[in-house]
A and B are shown apart, each in its own frame.
Chain A
Amino acid sequence: MSVLLTPEVIILLLEDLLLLAFNTIAVFIAYRIQKYFDINDTSPKQYTLEKQTYLASYIIKFSLYLKIASIIFFIFTLDKLSAIIPGAMCAVGVTSASGYGVYLLILKVLNIYLYGSWLLINKKDVEREDYPFTRIKFKYFLYIYFFFVLEFILQTLYFFDINPQQLVSCCGTVFNEASTSLLGRFTQIPNSISLPIFYLLFILLIFTSLKKKIIANGIINFFFLIISIVTLISFFGTYIYELPTHHCPFCLLQKDYYYIGYLLYTVLILGTFFGIVNTFLKLLLKIELNYFKLSLIFNSIYVILVSAYPIHFYLVNGVWL
Protein backbone atom coordinates (compact mmCIF):
# COMPACT_ATOMS: atom_id res chain seq x y z
CA MET A 1 0.00 0.00 0.00
CA SER A 2 1.44 3.28 -1.01
CA VAL A 3 1.60 5.99 1.62
CA LEU A 4 -0.22 8.17 -0.83
CA LEU A 5 -3.63 6.77 -0.25
CA THR A 6 -3.97 7.91 3.31
CA PRO A 7 -6.68 10.54 3.46
CA GLU A 8 -4.42 13.11 5.09
CA VAL A 9 -1.87 12.99 2.33
CA ILE A 10 -4.50 13.17 -0.38
CA ILE A 11 -6.05 16.21 1.23
CA LEU A 12 -2.70 17.91 1.63
CA LEU A 13 -1.74 17.36 -1.96
CA LEU A 14 -5.12 18.34 -3.30
CA GLU A 15 -5.32 21.58 -1.41
CA ASP A 16 -1.81 22.51 -2.33
CA LEU A 17 -2.63 21.83 -5.93
CA LEU A 18 -5.62 24.13 -5.78
CA LEU A 19 -3.57 26.74 -4.01
CA LEU A 20 -0.96 26.44 -6.71
CA ALA A 21 -3.60 27.03 -9.35
CA PHE A 22 -4.70 30.21 -7.63
CA ASN A 23 -1.19 31.41 -7.10
CA THR A 24 -0.54 30.84 -10.77
CA ILE A 25 -3.39 33.19 -11.55
CA ALA A 26 -1.83 35.64 -9.16
CA VAL A 27 1.58 35.34 -10.76
CA PHE A 28 0.17 36.13 -14.18
CA ILE A 29 -1.44 39.21 -12.76
CA ALA A 30 1.77 40.04 -10.92
CA TYR A 31 3.77 39.90 -14.09
CA ARG A 32 1.49 42.32 -15.87
CA ILE A 33 1.35 44.68 -12.97
CA GLN A 34 5.06 44.91 -12.39
CA LYS A 35 5.44 45.65 -16.05
CA TYR A 36 2.63 48.09 -16.79
CA PHE A 37 1.27 49.55 -13.58
CA ASP A 38 1.40 53.32 -13.47
CA ILE A 39 -0.53 55.19 -10.83
CA ASN A 40 -0.53 58.35 -12.89
CA ASP A 41 -2.12 56.73 -15.88
CA THR A 42 -5.84 57.32 -16.24
CA SER A 43 -6.49 54.92 -19.08
CA PRO A 44 -8.93 52.02 -18.78
CA LYS A 45 -6.01 49.62 -18.98
CA GLN A 46 -4.52 51.01 -15.80
CA TYR A 47 -7.89 50.89 -14.16
CA THR A 48 -8.21 47.21 -15.02
CA LEU A 49 -4.77 46.56 -13.58
CA GLU A 50 -5.76 48.28 -10.38
CA LYS A 51 -8.76 46.00 -10.10
CA GLN A 52 -6.56 42.99 -10.67
CA THR A 53 -4.27 43.98 -7.83
CA TYR A 54 -7.15 43.30 -5.52
CA LEU A 55 -7.53 39.77 -6.81
CA ALA A 56 -3.84 39.05 -6.56
CA SER A 57 -3.63 40.50 -3.05
CA TYR A 58 -6.65 38.53 -1.96
CA ILE A 59 -5.20 35.32 -3.28
CA ILE A 60 -1.85 35.95 -1.61
CA LYS A 61 -3.46 36.83 1.68
CA PHE A 62 -5.58 33.72 1.57
CA SER A 63 -2.51 31.68 0.65
CA LEU A 64 -0.65 32.78 3.73
CA TYR A 65 -3.41 31.78 6.07
CA LEU A 66 -3.92 28.48 4.33
CA LYS A 67 -0.21 27.81 4.40
CA ILE A 68 -0.06 28.36 8.11
CA ALA A 69 -2.95 25.97 8.63
CA SER A 70 -1.34 23.64 6.16
CA ILE A 71 2.01 23.42 7.89
CA ILE A 72 0.29 22.50 11.13
CA PHE A 73 -1.73 19.94 9.24
CA PHE A 74 1.46 18.69 7.62
CA ILE A 75 3.11 18.06 10.97
CA PHE A 76 -0.05 16.38 12.14
CA THR A 77 0.03 14.14 9.06
CA LEU A 78 3.65 13.25 9.66
CA ASP A 79 2.74 12.23 13.16
CA LYS A 80 -0.04 10.04 11.88
CA LEU A 81 2.14 8.47 9.27
CA SER A 82 4.55 7.48 12.01
CA ALA A 83 2.09 4.76 12.91
CA ILE A 84 2.40 3.21 9.48
CA ILE A 85 6.04 3.65 8.70
CA PRO A 86 8.13 1.05 10.46
CA GLY A 87 10.53 2.39 13.01
CA ALA A 88 9.10 5.88 13.11
CA MET A 89 7.74 6.87 16.48
CA CYS A 90 7.09 10.49 15.73
CA ALA A 91 7.33 12.97 12.92
CA VAL A 92 11.12 12.92 12.94
CA GLY A 93 11.20 9.40 11.66
CA VAL A 94 8.76 10.21 8.91
CA THR A 95 10.72 13.27 7.90
CA SER A 96 13.87 11.26 7.57
CA ALA A 97 12.04 8.56 5.61
CA SER A 98 12.92 10.50 2.52
CA GLY A 99 15.87 12.66 1.63
CA TYR A 100 13.52 15.47 0.77
CA GLY A 101 11.95 15.61 4.18
CA VAL A 102 14.12 18.11 5.98
CA TYR A 103 14.40 20.44 3.02
CA LEU A 104 10.66 20.37 2.55
CA LEU A 105 10.11 21.42 6.11
CA ILE A 106 12.62 24.23 5.90
CA LEU A 107 11.07 25.39 2.65
CA LYS A 108 7.61 25.39 4.14
CA VAL A 109 8.72 27.65 6.96
CA LEU A 110 10.62 29.83 4.55
CA ASN A 111 7.55 30.27 2.40
CA ILE A 112 5.53 31.40 5.35
CA TYR A 113 8.17 34.02 5.97
CA LEU A 114 8.05 35.06 2.33
CA TYR A 115 4.29 35.31 2.09
CA GLY A 116 4.17 37.11 5.40
CA SER A 117 6.74 39.61 4.23
CA TRP A 118 4.74 40.25 1.09
CA LEU A 119 1.67 41.06 3.09
CA LEU A 120 3.62 43.50 5.21
CA ILE A 121 4.83 45.30 2.12
CA ASN A 122 1.28 45.30 0.83
CA LYS A 123 0.07 46.91 4.00
CA LYS A 124 2.62 49.68 3.71
CA ASP A 125 1.89 50.08 0.02
CA VAL A 126 -1.80 50.77 0.32
CA GLU A 127 -1.32 53.23 3.12
CA ARG A 128 0.00 55.76 0.68
CA GLU A 129 -2.08 57.30 -2.04
CA ASP A 130 0.54 56.87 -4.68
CA TYR A 131 0.85 53.12 -4.09
CA PRO A 132 4.63 53.41 -4.13
CA PHE A 133 5.53 49.76 -3.80
CA THR A 134 3.03 48.14 -6.10
CA ARG A 135 5.39 47.29 -8.91
CA ILE A 136 8.15 46.17 -6.59
CA LYS A 137 5.95 43.98 -4.50
CA PHE A 138 4.55 42.17 -7.49
CA LYS A 139 7.98 41.70 -8.93
CA TYR A 140 8.93 40.25 -5.56
CA PHE A 141 5.97 37.93 -5.80
CA LEU A 142 7.35 36.43 -8.98
CA TYR A 143 10.21 35.08 -6.90
CA ILE A 144 7.97 34.00 -4.07
CA TYR A 145 5.93 32.04 -6.56
CA PHE A 146 9.05 30.22 -7.61
CA PHE A 147 9.65 29.10 -4.05
CA PHE A 148 6.08 27.98 -3.74
CA VAL A 149 6.33 25.86 -6.86
CA LEU A 150 9.55 24.42 -5.49
CA GLU A 151 7.81 23.53 -2.27
CA PHE A 152 4.97 21.91 -4.16
CA ILE A 153 7.31 19.78 -6.24
CA LEU A 154 9.36 18.79 -3.22
CA GLN A 155 6.27 17.84 -1.31
CA THR A 156 4.97 15.64 -4.09
CA LEU A 157 8.37 14.01 -4.50
CA TYR A 158 8.59 13.51 -0.77
CA PHE A 159 5.35 11.64 -0.47
CA PHE A 160 6.04 9.57 -3.53
CA ASP A 161 9.47 8.79 -2.24
CA ILE A 162 8.48 7.32 1.09
CA ASN A 163 8.59 3.59 1.12
CA PRO A 164 6.28 2.23 3.77
CA GLN A 165 8.21 -0.98 3.96
CA GLN A 166 11.53 0.59 4.66
CA LEU A 167 12.75 1.00 8.19
CA VAL A 168 13.60 4.50 9.30
CA SER A 169 15.38 5.96 12.25
CA CYS A 170 13.62 7.80 14.99
CA CYS A 171 14.66 10.76 17.01
CA GLY A 172 16.54 8.51 19.34
CA THR A 173 19.06 7.73 16.66
CA VAL A 174 18.88 10.91 14.63
CA PHE A 175 19.70 13.19 17.49
CA ASN A 176 22.14 10.92 19.14
CA GLU A 177 25.50 12.28 20.10
CA ALA A 178 27.06 9.68 17.90
CA SER A 179 24.99 10.39 14.82
CA THR A 180 26.52 11.59 11.61
CA SER A 181 23.44 13.16 10.06
CA LEU A 182 23.12 16.91 9.69
CA LEU A 183 20.51 17.12 12.39
CA GLY A 184 22.51 14.87 14.62
CA ARG A 185 25.45 17.19 14.51
CA PHE A 186 23.36 19.81 16.21
CA THR A 187 23.42 17.84 19.39
CA GLN A 188 27.14 17.47 19.18
CA ILE A 189 27.80 21.12 19.80
CA PRO A 190 28.51 21.27 23.49
CA ASN A 191 26.01 23.16 25.58
CA SER A 192 28.78 25.17 27.14
CA ILE A 193 29.24 26.83 23.78
CA SER A 194 25.75 26.97 22.34
CA LEU A 195 23.96 28.23 25.43
CA PRO A 196 26.10 31.32 25.98
CA ILE A 197 25.80 32.12 22.28
CA PHE A 198 22.04 31.83 22.58
CA TYR A 199 21.77 34.31 25.43
CA LEU A 200 24.42 36.55 23.99
CA LEU A 201 22.57 36.86 20.72
CA PHE A 202 19.41 37.63 22.60
CA ILE A 203 21.08 40.47 24.45
CA LEU A 204 22.41 41.75 21.16
CA LEU A 205 18.88 41.62 19.84
CA ILE A 206 17.64 43.81 22.63
CA PHE A 207 20.46 46.19 22.01
CA THR A 208 20.02 46.47 18.25
CA SER A 209 16.26 46.80 18.62
CA LEU A 210 16.53 49.69 21.00
CA LYS A 211 19.07 51.39 18.82
CA LYS A 212 16.93 50.67 15.77
CA LYS A 213 19.74 49.17 13.80
CA ILE A 214 17.77 47.48 11.06
CA ILE A 215 20.44 45.48 9.31
CA ALA A 216 22.28 44.29 12.37
CA ASN A 217 19.03 43.33 14.03
CA GLY A 218 17.94 41.28 11.08
CA ILE A 219 21.20 39.40 10.77
CA ILE A 220 21.31 38.65 14.45
CA ASN A 221 17.71 37.47 14.32
CA PHE A 222 18.66 35.03 11.63
CA PHE A 223 21.44 33.53 13.68
CA PHE A 224 19.23 33.64 16.71
CA LEU A 225 16.76 31.46 14.90
CA ILE A 226 19.42 28.89 14.15
CA ILE A 227 20.91 28.86 17.61
CA SER A 228 17.44 28.65 19.12
CA ILE A 229 16.70 25.48 17.26
CA VAL A 230 20.08 24.05 18.10
CA THR A 231 19.70 24.77 21.80
CA LEU A 232 16.10 23.61 21.77
CA ILE A 233 17.17 20.25 20.45
CA SER A 234 20.27 19.80 22.49
CA PHE A 235 19.41 21.49 25.77
CA PHE A 236 15.99 22.99 26.38
CA GLY A 237 14.13 20.09 24.87
CA THR A 238 15.65 17.71 27.35
CA TYR A 239 14.24 19.79 30.17
CA ILE A 240 10.81 19.82 28.62
CA TYR A 241 10.92 16.07 28.33
CA GLU A 242 12.86 15.75 31.59
CA LEU A 243 15.01 13.19 29.89
CA PRO A 244 18.63 13.90 29.05
CA THR A 245 18.60 11.74 25.95
CA HIS A 246 15.36 12.93 24.43
CA HIS A 247 16.30 15.42 21.77
CA CYS A 248 13.30 15.39 19.52
CA PRO A 249 12.03 18.70 18.12
CA PHE A 250 8.69 17.21 17.18
CA CYS A 251 7.57 15.46 20.31
CA LEU A 252 7.03 18.89 21.85
CA LEU A 253 4.00 19.18 19.65
CA GLN A 254 2.27 16.26 21.20
CA LYS A 255 -0.42 16.14 23.77
CA ASP A 256 1.89 14.72 26.43
CA TYR A 257 3.70 18.00 26.70
CA TYR A 258 0.60 20.14 26.51
CA TYR A 259 1.31 21.02 22.89
CA ILE A 260 3.90 23.53 24.13
CA GLY A 261 5.78 23.04 20.90
CA TYR A 262 3.16 24.94 18.94
CA LEU A 263 3.51 27.96 21.20
CA LEU A 264 7.27 27.86 21.21
CA TYR A 265 7.66 27.55 17.49
CA THR A 266 4.99 30.16 16.82
CA VAL A 267 6.61 32.84 18.96
CA LEU A 268 10.05 31.98 17.71
CA ILE A 269 8.97 32.20 14.10
CA LEU A 270 7.02 35.40 14.68
CA GLY A 271 9.84 37.01 16.60
CA THR A 272 12.53 36.22 14.09
CA PHE A 273 10.21 36.96 11.22
CA PHE A 274 9.56 40.51 12.35
CA GLY A 275 13.25 40.99 12.86
CA ILE A 276 14.49 39.52 9.62
CA VAL A 277 11.81 41.06 7.45
CA ASN A 278 13.02 44.56 8.23
CA THR A 279 16.51 43.85 7.02
CA PHE A 280 15.48 41.77 4.07
CA LEU A 281 13.13 44.39 2.71
CA LYS A 282 15.51 47.22 3.31
CA LEU A 283 18.36 45.53 1.52
CA LEU A 284 16.49 44.01 -1.35
CA LEU A 285 13.65 46.36 -1.95
CA LYS A 286 14.70 49.50 -0.16
CA ILE A 287 11.52 49.58 1.84
CA GLU A 288 11.77 50.66 5.44
CA LEU A 289 9.75 48.80 7.98
CA ASN A 290 10.44 48.69 11.67
CA TYR A 291 8.75 45.97 13.52
CA PHE A 292 11.39 45.97 16.24
CA LYS A 293 8.95 46.03 19.06
CA LEU A 294 6.97 43.04 17.86
CA SER A 295 10.12 41.12 17.15
CA LEU A 296 11.50 41.81 20.58
CA ILE A 297 8.29 40.91 22.34
CA PHE A 298 7.97 37.55 20.63
CA ASN A 299 11.61 36.66 20.96
CA SER A 300 11.50 37.56 24.62
CA ILE A 301 8.50 35.37 25.21
CA TYR A 302 10.39 32.57 23.56
CA VAL A 303 13.49 33.03 25.66
CA ILE A 304 11.51 33.27 28.86
CA LEU A 305 9.41 30.22 28.11
CA VAL A 306 12.27 28.11 27.03
CA SER A 307 14.48 29.12 29.95
CA ALA A 308 11.70 28.47 32.39
CA TYR A 309 11.90 24.74 31.93
CA PRO A 310 15.47 24.14 33.11
CA ILE A 311 15.07 26.68 35.88
CA HIS A 312 11.89 25.07 37.03
CA PHE A 313 13.50 21.68 36.89
CA TYR A 314 16.41 22.84 38.98
CA LEU A 315 14.19 24.45 41.56
CA VAL A 316 12.08 21.37 41.88
CA ASN A 317 14.84 18.80 41.80
CA GLY A 318 17.86 20.61 43.03
CA VAL A 319 20.07 19.29 40.25
CA TRP A 320 20.56 19.73 36.55
CA LEU A 321 20.01 16.89 34.14
Chain B
Amino acid sequence: MIELKNINKIYNLGLPDESNVLKNISFKVKKNEFTILRGPSGSGKSTILSIIAGLIKPTSGEVIVDGKSIAKLPDKFAANLRADKIGFIFQKFNLIHDLTAIDNITVPLLPSKFSKTEIIERAEKIMSELSIIEKKNLVVKKLSGGEQQRVAIARALINNPKIILADEPTANLDEKLSLSFLDIIKKLKEKGLTILLASHDPVFNNLKCIDNIIDIHLGEIK
Protein backbone atom coordinates (compact mmCIF):
# COMPACT_ATOMS: atom_id res chain seq x y z
CA MET B 1 0.00 0.00 0.00
CA ILE B 2 2.74 2.45 0.91
CA GLU B 3 6.28 2.25 -0.32
CA LEU B 4 9.20 4.60 0.13
CA LYS B 5 12.35 4.20 -1.93
CA ASN B 6 15.50 6.11 -1.10
CA ILE B 7 13.74 9.15 0.21
CA ASN B 8 15.90 12.13 1.05
CA LYS B 9 14.66 15.43 2.35
CA ILE B 10 16.97 18.40 2.65
CA TYR B 11 15.70 21.81 3.76
CA ASN B 12 17.39 24.97 2.53
CA LEU B 13 19.55 23.13 0.07
CA GLY B 14 22.74 25.02 -0.71
CA LEU B 15 22.19 27.58 2.03
CA PRO B 16 24.22 27.95 5.22
CA ASP B 17 21.36 26.54 7.31
CA GLU B 18 20.98 23.45 5.22
CA SER B 19 19.55 20.53 7.14
CA ASN B 20 19.28 16.96 5.96
CA VAL B 21 16.16 15.74 7.70
CA LEU B 22 15.74 12.38 5.99
CA LYS B 23 18.54 10.22 4.69
CA ASN B 24 17.85 7.42 2.29
CA ILE B 25 14.62 6.20 3.85
CA SER B 26 13.14 3.04 2.36
CA PHE B 27 10.36 0.84 3.72
CA LYS B 28 7.09 -0.76 2.84
CA VAL B 29 3.72 -0.94 4.49
CA LYS B 30 1.42 -3.63 3.20
CA LYS B 31 -2.31 -3.34 2.91
CA ASN B 32 -4.19 -3.60 6.19
CA GLU B 33 -0.95 -3.53 8.18
CA PHE B 34 -0.63 -1.55 11.36
CA THR B 35 2.89 -0.09 11.39
CA ILE B 36 4.56 2.09 14.01
CA LEU B 37 7.21 4.62 13.14
CA ARG B 38 9.17 4.85 16.33
CA GLY B 39 11.76 7.38 17.34
CA PRO B 40 12.38 10.45 19.46
CA SER B 41 11.05 13.85 18.50
CA GLY B 42 13.01 15.49 15.72
CA SER B 43 13.92 12.17 14.18
CA GLY B 44 11.95 12.89 11.03
CA LYS B 45 8.78 10.85 11.64
CA SER B 46 6.44 13.75 10.96
CA THR B 47 8.31 14.56 7.79
CA ILE B 48 7.88 11.01 6.54
CA LEU B 49 4.15 11.12 7.20
CA SER B 50 3.86 14.47 5.47
CA ILE B 51 5.65 13.14 2.44
CA ILE B 52 3.35 10.13 2.26
CA ALA B 53 0.36 12.43 2.46
CA GLY B 54 1.74 14.56 -0.34
CA LEU B 55 2.08 17.59 1.89
CA ILE B 56 5.82 17.81 1.36
CA LYS B 57 7.81 16.79 -1.66
CA PRO B 58 10.98 14.78 -1.10
CA THR B 59 14.25 16.14 -2.39
CA SER B 60 14.88 12.80 -4.06
CA GLY B 61 13.46 9.31 -4.05
CA GLU B 62 10.18 7.66 -4.87
CA VAL B 63 6.93 7.42 -2.93
CA ILE B 64 4.24 4.99 -4.00
CA VAL B 65 0.83 5.16 -2.37
CA ASP B 66 -1.87 2.71 -3.37
CA GLY B 67 0.02 1.93 -6.55
CA LYS B 68 0.59 5.53 -7.57
CA SER B 69 3.86 7.38 -7.57
CA ILE B 70 3.21 10.65 -5.83
CA ALA B 71 6.55 12.34 -5.30
CA LYS B 72 6.14 14.71 -8.23
CA LEU B 73 2.39 15.15 -8.20
CA PRO B 74 1.28 18.73 -8.59
CA ASP B 75 -0.70 20.23 -5.74
CA LYS B 76 -4.08 19.51 -7.27
CA PHE B 77 -3.54 15.77 -7.45
CA ALA B 78 -1.79 15.58 -4.13
CA ALA B 79 -4.82 17.26 -2.59
CA ASN B 80 -7.09 14.78 -4.33
CA LEU B 81 -5.03 11.96 -2.92
CA ARG B 82 -5.50 13.27 0.57
CA ALA B 83 -9.17 13.85 0.02
CA ASP B 84 -9.73 10.40 -1.48
CA LYS B 85 -7.51 7.96 0.22
CA ILE B 86 -5.88 9.35 3.30
CA GLY B 87 -7.08 10.26 6.74
CA PHE B 88 -4.52 12.24 8.69
CA ILE B 89 -4.61 12.61 12.46
CA PHE B 90 -2.28 15.40 13.43
CA GLN B 91 -0.17 15.82 16.46
CA LYS B 92 -1.94 18.89 17.73
CA PHE B 93 -5.27 17.78 16.27
CA ASN B 94 -5.26 20.85 14.05
CA LEU B 95 -8.93 21.58 14.36
CA ILE B 96 -10.43 24.92 13.40
CA HIS B 97 -11.19 26.35 16.80
CA ASP B 98 -14.11 28.58 15.92
CA LEU B 99 -16.01 25.89 14.09
CA THR B 100 -18.31 23.35 15.66
CA ALA B 101 -17.38 19.71 15.96
CA ILE B 102 -19.55 18.63 13.10
CA ASP B 103 -18.34 21.48 10.90
CA ASN B 104 -14.77 20.45 11.52
CA ILE B 105 -15.53 16.88 10.66
CA THR B 106 -17.32 17.67 7.42
CA VAL B 107 -14.70 20.11 6.12
CA PRO B 108 -12.69 17.60 4.03
CA LEU B 109 -15.69 16.70 1.90
CA LEU B 110 -16.98 20.19 1.18
CA PRO B 111 -15.27 20.51 -2.22
CA SER B 112 -16.52 17.08 -3.23
CA LYS B 113 -19.60 16.12 -5.17
CA PHE B 114 -21.43 14.66 -2.19
CA SER B 115 -24.50 16.49 -1.06
CA LYS B 116 -24.63 18.26 2.25
CA THR B 117 -27.14 15.82 3.66
CA GLU B 118 -25.03 12.82 2.71
CA ILE B 119 -21.99 14.34 4.33
CA ILE B 120 -23.83 15.18 7.53
CA GLU B 121 -25.28 11.68 7.70
CA ARG B 122 -21.84 10.21 7.43
CA ALA B 123 -20.45 12.57 10.00
CA GLU B 124 -23.18 11.74 12.45
CA LYS B 125 -22.66 8.04 11.97
CA ILE B 126 -18.96 8.32 12.70
CA MET B 127 -19.60 10.60 15.65
CA SER B 128 -21.97 8.05 17.11
CA GLU B 129 -19.43 5.31 16.76
CA LEU B 130 -16.90 7.46 18.55
CA SER B 131 -19.43 8.55 21.19
CA ILE B 132 -19.17 12.25 20.55
CA ILE B 133 -22.49 12.74 18.84
CA GLU B 134 -23.90 14.85 21.69
CA LYS B 135 -21.14 17.39 21.21
CA LYS B 136 -21.74 17.84 17.53
CA ASN B 137 -22.87 21.45 17.64
CA LEU B 138 -20.41 22.61 20.22
CA VAL B 139 -17.56 24.84 19.21
CA VAL B 140 -14.38 22.86 19.29
CA LYS B 141 -12.45 25.11 21.62
CA LYS B 142 -14.95 24.26 24.29
CA LEU B 143 -14.32 20.54 24.09
CA SER B 144 -11.98 18.55 26.30
CA GLY B 145 -8.72 17.11 25.00
CA GLY B 146 -10.17 13.66 24.60
CA GLU B 147 -13.22 14.95 22.81
CA GLN B 148 -11.10 17.05 20.49
CA GLN B 149 -9.04 14.05 19.64
CA ARG B 150 -12.09 12.06 18.73
CA VAL B 151 -13.27 14.91 16.54
CA ALA B 152 -9.86 14.81 14.85
CA ILE B 153 -10.24 11.10 14.32
CA ALA B 154 -13.74 11.49 12.98
CA ARG B 155 -12.50 14.07 10.53
CA ALA B 156 -9.83 11.66 9.36
CA LEU B 157 -12.51 9.07 8.70
CA ILE B 158 -15.16 11.15 6.97
CA ASN B 159 -13.85 10.43 3.49
CA ASN B 160 -13.68 6.64 3.97
CA PRO B 161 -9.92 6.56 3.59
CA LYS B 162 -7.86 3.52 2.84
CA ILE B 163 -4.91 4.76 4.82
CA ILE B 164 -4.73 6.37 8.24
CA LEU B 165 -1.66 8.40 9.08
CA ALA B 166 -1.32 9.47 12.69
CA ASP B 167 1.36 11.76 14.05
CA GLU B 168 1.97 11.41 17.81
CA PRO B 169 -1.73 11.01 18.46
CA THR B 170 -1.36 10.23 22.15
CA ALA B 171 1.14 12.99 22.98
CA ASN B 172 -1.48 15.14 24.69
CA LEU B 173 -3.55 12.40 26.26
CA ASP B 174 -3.53 10.68 29.60
CA GLU B 175 -3.23 6.91 29.91
CA LYS B 176 -6.93 6.22 29.92
CA LEU B 177 -7.52 8.21 26.76
CA SER B 178 -4.46 6.70 25.15
CA LEU B 179 -5.88 3.25 25.67
CA SER B 180 -9.25 4.23 24.32
CA PHE B 181 -7.48 5.64 21.28
CA LEU B 182 -5.74 2.31 20.84
CA ASP B 183 -9.12 0.62 20.87
CA ILE B 184 -10.35 2.82 18.10
CA ILE B 185 -7.27 2.10 16.02
CA LYS B 186 -7.70 -1.62 16.50
CA LYS B 187 -11.26 -1.38 15.26
CA LEU B 188 -10.09 0.54 12.21
CA LYS B 189 -7.60 -2.14 11.44
CA GLU B 190 -10.38 -4.70 11.67
CA LYS B 191 -12.28 -2.73 9.10
CA GLY B 192 -9.44 -3.18 6.65
CA LEU B 193 -7.65 0.14 6.83
CA THR B 194 -3.89 0.47 6.54
CA ILE B 195 -2.43 2.34 9.47
CA LEU B 196 0.88 4.09 9.84
CA LEU B 197 1.38 5.71 13.19
CA ALA B 198 4.34 7.78 14.30
CA SER B 199 4.96 7.81 18.05
CA HIS B 200 7.49 7.33 20.78
CA ASP B 201 4.78 6.57 23.30
CA PRO B 202 5.59 3.29 25.07
CA VAL B 203 1.91 2.32 25.02
CA PHE B 204 2.55 1.06 21.50
CA ASN B 205 5.35 -1.26 22.50
CA ASN B 206 4.75 -4.98 22.41
CA LEU B 207 1.22 -5.02 21.12
CA LYS B 208 -0.09 -8.03 19.29
CA CYS B 209 -2.05 -6.07 16.71
CA ILE B 210 1.04 -4.23 15.49
CA ASP B 211 2.47 -5.75 12.35
CA ASN B 212 5.69 -3.80 12.06
CA ILE B 213 7.83 -1.34 13.93
CA ILE B 214 10.24 0.94 12.09
CA ASP B 215 12.77 2.75 14.18
CA ILE B 216 13.91 6.15 12.99
CA HIS B 217 16.80 8.02 14.46
CA LEU B 218 18.15 11.30 13.15
CA GLY B 219 16.53 10.80 9.76
CA GLU B 220 17.78 7.30 9.21
CA ILE B 221 16.21 3.92 9.69
CA LYS B 222 17.92 1.83 12.30
Contacts and interface: CB of A to CB of B under 8 A. Distances in A.
A42 B58 contact: yes
A111 to B, nearest CB: 28
A26 B76 CA distance: 20
A47 B57 CA distance: 9
A50 interface: yes
A28 interface: no
Interface string A122-139: 000010010100000000
A11 interface: no
A44 B11 CA distance: 10
A178 interface: no
Chain A interface residue number, banded: 10 to 19
Interface in B79-112: none
A167 interface: no
B72 A42 contact: yes
Interface in A110-165: 126, 129, 131
Contacts of B58: 42
Interface centre among B57, B58, B72 (most CB of A within 10 A): B72
Contacts of A43: 13
A226 interface: no
The secondary-structure label for the interface of chain B is loop
A47 B72 CA distance: 10
A42 B74 contact: no
B74 A129 contact: yes
A156 to B, nearest CB: 39
Contacts of A131: 74
B131 interface: no
B71 interface: yes
Interface centre among A40, A44, A47 (most CB of B within 10 A): A44
Nearest to B77: A129
Contacts of B72: 39-40, 42
Interface of A: 39-40, 42-44, 47, 50, 126, 129, 131
Interface of B: 13, 57-60, 71-77
Given A42-B58, A42-B71, 18 more contacts: A39-B72, A39-B74, A40-B72, A42-B57, A42-B59, A42-B60, A42-B72, A43-B13, A44-B13, A47-B57, A50-B74, A50-B75, A126-B74, A126-B76, A129-B73, A129-B74, A129-B77, A131-B74
